[in-house]
Chain A
């Protein structure tokens, strides 16, 4: 019934709340004993979450969240102190909600699959509160007496089958409302129909009705009704309208299959699902309205939902009346007009129309209306006059709320309130970035134009003017680019946010003690980079906890404090972000790594002999390598460091491992600040131009041929007393047969060697020629081309040519792999590069 967009945005909001709740909970846990922890934040988050969940038709989750909220509330009131088991329970609840939020993200409402777990959680939470969820004491025999005679056998069989399918009990209940319930505003029929998971119910008199002929014997103001009902899940915790009052009776019994199929009855009935859903939703709106915080936004959201309900459930009334009520509510700062609308919808009265024109049959006895409800009805009856008014009046409703844009993305006038923060869809920023990219490329063509003006048209003056214009456009384009990039910058804390909780949970499960220390959370980087790095960080932290940190006993025996420490640090170094995950655990045993690699036949004994420590360490990144021989629940499911490495590389980062056995491991991830603009050095090999990211280039040198030595079939040179392995780019790219075009510029200057550093190794690449360095927007390879790891991407040059940018790390890898096992370089001779350029 709810719009999937709406669910989606609610889900995002719930996820934000989950994070703040989780952080608040961790803070509570960290509070030293004896001090009163600050639970306000936690309470607020849970409370708002509960409202949103109700909104999203997730009754089971509402139930559990509500119980957690009550627990926190009791702590706030100083009635109890949150203990670790309680905190664990609240965390569990948050997890459940998080799962629900994921379902919501897909645009669906969390269904019945949440009911059993939530019911269990609720029960345990309530138990912590000392609130006994009343155990059903009624004996089965007694219970069966009253309920089964109301249902026919076929129906019961159907329920029994469904029960088996669902694997959860069907609850039979009897609800006897208080005799005075009409005076306290309760409509027992509405209450029962709003019971979550209700699948069947019947009404009967509690005591026999008085004689028909005896006028006055029947008191219409005293409730003489009782309800028998069947529901999926225990309805007590989500009893509509709050807990069952003391005067009322609620008996419940979880039915077994045998009980279900026991005797015969004589009733039929049809599902009441849809109505129940609608009512539940409407009542959830009342809950949402009861939130004092973020008023205008809430009201606007509620208005949107109400309009949907009105439309979808074909309720009588005008949608505009809802907007009007929302305006009134916001202006008055009082929810009464909205409450009135919801009550009208709940009562089946038309919204915003003269009630007299369409009297519902249950309208008649206005005699016992609950007193507090009376004033709230007034705005509705006043509404008809507005029916003919132009709809423009409605426009300011949602815009009055900064949150409106989020909770109600489709509201006619989006939220552009007084908030200084503007939430923009990422796609729009991406689009802006793309346009800036195109602008940069277009701008780069001006110097070529200037050259042509001078060369072809012999107009030096024109060329100068074009260059002058280029300088101006260049400056503006750069400013624009910087501005857009700044918009995309987000602090690392976005990625770090979930880690404290994760470390806590995993450490608990592993029986280890760990403390996560985070530094530099406000270090900023491009949003894509921060997002791309989150998953690898999760794996790395898990690894640290699982493989790195030892159990407290082992640690104490080794003379370390029992509590392990994981440091997560983000710093800016030049134009890069460096992330460090270090632990003071056992460190990596290189011998174990080597033995493992041998056992897995990833390397040969001979290869191992010639490997440096750093190279052995890099074996960790090889596919299928996992040092922990036990496949544990947390890490080591075959997704080891190789996956992490790939993920880091995808985020354009580099991964380094540094470990001292017995002292700990440090993993360093180096990331560019932004993926948007890359400085690229252009080089030429076999008459083709390639780009090399400037970040890996250490220097460029010319080496006379006689200074190149051959050691074991491997060319090498001495550069400042260091042996530098040399690779010929032609050979690596499989372009050896291409004739060298002698440009005559450096007849005897020697080989052009590009000294690059990648994966912790420095080596030389022999190329034909060096060209200029350029700022380019490098796009990742797409389609078929993405399977060539030798290239990290493409960029458009100013003259429209497509430049292939080399992935130096992969290139180095390819140098080590024999020719036949290597990915073939894409054939560029068949017009490859230039052909693409004409398309571009």
Chain B
């Protein structure tokens, strides 16, 4: 995924179905901050995942 993200400049990720994220994946998301086209539908996941990804930007 890292490679995929690094290949194209404006790749989007759909996290709608996301229910859990492996730490390794998470840190790629946090490091690369790709555009999240759809936030996770799972409220719990969204609650901690989105701040993590966006928070890394700030």
Is A204 in contact with B47, judged by CB distance below 8 angstroms? no
Given A224-B31, A361-B18, A365-B1, A204 and B26 touching (CB < 8 A)? no
CA distance A203 to B53 in the complex (A): 9
- Within B6-58, the residues touching A (CB, 8 Å) are 6, 13-15, 17-28, 30-33, 42-48, 51-52, 55-56
- Within A221-247, the residues touching B (CB, 8 Å) are 221, 223-225
Task: Please report the total number of B residues contacting A with Cβ < 8 Å.
Answer: 34
Is A218 in contact with B22, judged by CB distance below 8 angstroms? no
Find chain A residues with CB under 8 A from B26 CB. 189, 203, 225, 362
- Within A517-539, the residues touching B (CB, 8 Å) are none
- Within A263-317, the residues touching B (CB, 8 Å) are 267-275
User: Nearest B residue to A177 by beta-carbon distance?
Assistant: B23
Given A205-B30, A212-B32, A225-B26, A361 and B48 touching (CB < 8 A)? no
A434 to nearest B CB, angstroms?
52
Is A187 in contact with B23, judged by CB distance below 8 angstroms? yes
Is B24 in contact with A365, judged by CB distance below 8 angstroms? yes
User: Nearest B residue to A218 by beta-carbon distance?
Assistant: B31
A178 to nearest B CB, angstroms?
11
Find chain B residues with CB under 8 A from A187 CB. 22-24
Query: Which of B1, B14, B23, B47 touches A223 (beta carbons < 8 Å)?
Result: B23
- Within A152-207, the residues touching B (CB, 8 Å) are 177, 181-182, 186-190, 193, 201-205
Query: Which of B6, B19, B23 touches A215 (beta carbons < 8 Å)?
Result: B6
Find chain A residues with CB under 8 A from B6 CB. 215
Q: Does A364 contact B (CB under 8 A)?
A: yes
Find chain A residues with CB under 8 A from B47 CB. 268-270, 272
A190 to nearest B CB, angstroms?
7
Is B52 in contact with A204, judged by CB distance below 8 angstroms? yes
Find chain B residues with CB under 8 A from A273 CB. 44
Find chain B residues with CB under 8 A from A201 CB. 48
Is A205 in contact with B56, judged by CB distance below 8 angstroms? yes
Is A223 in contact with B27, judged by CB distance below 8 angstroms? yes
B26 to nearest A CB, angstroms?
6
Q: Does A819 contact B (CB under 8 A)?
A: no
Q: Does A360 contact B (CB under 8 A)?
A: yes
B48 to nearest A CB, angstroms?
6
Is A223 in contact with B17, judged by CB distance below 8 angstroms? no
Find chain B residues with CB under 8 A from A223 CB. 23-24, 27
Q: Does A368 contact B (CB under 8 A)?
A: yes
A536 to nearest B CB, angstroms?
53
Q: Could you list some 28 contacts between A and B, CB below 8 A?
A: A187-B23, A187-B24, A193-B20, A201-B48, A203-B52, A204-B55, A204-B56, A205-B56, A209-B30, A210-B31, A212-B33, A215-B6, A220-B31, A221-B24, A223-B24, A224-B31, A225-B27, A270-B44, A270-B47, A271-B44, A272-B44, A274-B44, A275-B45, A360-B17, A361-B13, A361-B18, A362-B26, A365-B2
Given A269-B51, A272-B48, A361 and B31 touching (CB < 8 A)? no
Q: Does A347 contact B (CB under 8 A)?
A: yes
Q: Does A798 contact B (CB under 8 A)?
A: no
Find chain B residues with CB under 8 A from A186 CB. 23
Query: Which of A188, A218, A274, A348 touches B23 (beta carbons < 8 Å)?
Result: A188
- Within A112-161, the residues touching B (CB, 8 Å) are none
Is B55 in contact with A189, judged by CB distance below 8 angstroms? no
User: A-B pairs with the 9 shortest C-beta distances?
Assistant: A270-B47, A203-B52, A209-B31, A364-B1, A269-B47, A188-B23, A362-B25, A362-B22, A272-B44
User: Nearest B residue to A346 by beta-carbon distance?
Assistant: B20
Is A361 in contact with B21, judged by CB distance below 8 angstroms? yes
Interface, chain B (partner A; CB < 8 A):
1-2, 4, 6, 13-15, 17-28, 30-33, 42-48, 51-52, 55-56
CA distance A212 to B2 in the complex (A): 12
Is A189 in contact with B51, judged by CB distance below 8 angstroms? no
Find chain A residues with CB under 8 A from B25 CB. 361-362, 364-365
CA distance A33 to B42 in the complex (A): 59
User: Nearest A residue to B6 by beta-carbon distance?
Assistant: A215
Is B56 in contact with A189, judged by CB distance below 8 angstroms? no
User: Nearest A residue to B51 by beta-carbon distance?
Assistant: A267
CA distance A177 to B20 in the complex (A): 18
Find chain A residues with CB under 8 A from B14 CB. 361
B23 to nearest A CB, angstroms?
4
User: Nearest A residue to B28 by beta-carbon distance?
Assistant: A220
CA distance A520 to B45 in the complex (A): 61
CA distance A362 to B27 in the complex (A): 11
B54 to nearest A CB, angstroms?
11
Find chain A residues with CB under 8 A from B21 CB. 189, 361-362
Is B56 in contact with A360, judged by CB distance below 8 angstroms? no
CA distance A271 to B43 in the complex (A): 9
CA distance A182 to B23 in the complex (A): 8
A147 to nearest B CB, angstroms?
14
CA distance A346 to B51 in the complex (A): 23
Given A212-B33, A270-B47, A220 and B24 touching (CB < 8 A)? yes
CA distance A215 to B9 in the complex (A): 12
Is A189 in contact with B20, judged by CB distance below 8 angstroms? yes
Find chain B residues with CB under 8 A from A348 CB. 19-20
User: Nearest A residue to B4 by beta-carbon distance?
Assistant: A364
CA distance A362 to B25 in the complex (A): 6
Given A215-B6, A271-B44, A205 and B22 touching (CB < 8 A)? no
Is B44 in contact with A220, judged by CB distance below 8 angstroms? no
A326 to nearest B CB, angstroms?
24
A151 to nearest B CB, angstroms?
11
User: Nearest B residue to A271 by beta-carbon distance?
Assistant: B44
A108 to nearest B CB, angstroms?
23
Query: Which of B33, B46, B52 touches A202 (beta carbons < 8 Å)?
Result: B52
Find chain B residues with CB under 8 A from A272 CB. 44, 47-48
CA distance A193 to B43 in the complex (A): 14
Other A-B pairs beyond A215-B6, A360-B17, 6, CB < 8 Å: A189-B26, A190-B22, A209-B30, A346-B20, A360-B18, A362-B25
CA distance A702 to B11 in the complex (A): 110
Is B20 in contact with A347, judged by CB distance below 8 angstroms? yes
Given A189-B21, A190-B20, A204-B55, A361 and B30 touching (CB < 8 A)? no
Is B23 in contact with A181, judged by CB distance below 8 angstroms? yes
User: Nearest A residue to B40 by beta-carbon distance?
Assistant: A361
Is A225 in contact with B56, judged by CB distance below 8 angstroms? no
A671 to nearest B CB, angstroms?
58
User: Nearest B residue to A221 by beta-carbon distance?
Assistant: B24
Is A362 in contact with B44, judged by CB distance below 8 angstroms? no
Query: Which of B2, B19, B43 touches A360 (beta carbons < 8 Å)?
Result: B19
CA distance A348 to B21 in the complex (A): 9
Interface centre among A188, A203, A274, A365 (most CB of B within 10 A): A203
Find chain B residues with CB under 8 A from A365 CB. 1-2, 22, 24-25, 28
B24 to nearest A CB, angstroms?
5
Find chain B residues with CB under 8 A from A218 CB. 2, 28, 31-32
Is B30 in contact with A203, judged by CB distance below 8 angstroms? yes
CA distance A64 to B55 in the complex (A): 38
A224 to nearest B CB, angstroms?
6
CA distance A360 to B46 in the complex (A): 15
Query: Which of B2, B22, B33 touches A189 (beta carbons < 8 Å)?
Result: B22
Find chain A residues with CB under 8 A from B48 CB. 201-203, 269, 272
Is A225 in contact with B33, judged by CB distance below 8 angstroms? no
